[in-house]
Amino acid sequence: MDILQQNQFKALLIGDSCIDKYHYGICDRISPEAPVPVFQHQYTIENEGMVLNVANNLRSFGFDVDVWTNEEKIFKERFVDARTKQHLLRSDFGENEKVKSLDLSKIDDIQNELYDCIIISDYDKGYIS
């Protein structure tokens, strides 16, 4: 008995990307300098974000994924109270610099027959103009 093997689903993702950092710590006192909590860092978790997160999600379903994204590093850092999971602060780095836009001539080079779908994931950071 022959069993037909299903072809792997192939996607092209185009969009902005970043690194998401989550700094967890304890806030158990207020600063004497200003009425703000003092954050005592315990650990950090780092994940690929934006279009890279979409790519990782698709890969977890067994998809074959190609990604076109910005080369510039963008970081989104969140500070979270480890006990309450309260998000205290987010600090962004790298998106004030000019993100080089996708070269639109590359769009003409897409071999559509290679992909089952093309996903555009625009987070308005400049890669997609």
In terms of DSSP bridges, do strands 75-81 and 87-93 run parallel, antiparallel, or are they unpaired? antiparallel
Quick: pLDDT tens for 13-44: 999 999 999 999 999 999 999 999 999 999 99
Question: What pLDDT score does 6 carry?
Answer: 56
Residue 11 included in any domain: no
Mean pLDDT score of the chain, rounded to an integer? Answer: 92
Half-sphere exposure of 63 (CA within 13 A, CB side): 21
Q: Would you place residue 102 in the very low, low, confident or very high pLDDT band (cuts 50, 70, 90)?
A: very high
Residue 103 included in any domain: yes
Question: What pLDDT score does 108 carry?
Answer: 86
- What's the pTM value of the predicted model, to 2 decimals? 0.83
What's the number of domains the chain is made of? Answer: 1
Q: Would you place residue 4 in the very low, low, confident or very high pLDDT band (cuts 50, 70, 90)?
A: low
Which residue range(s) make up the domain with 81?
17-118
Residue 102 included in any domain: yes
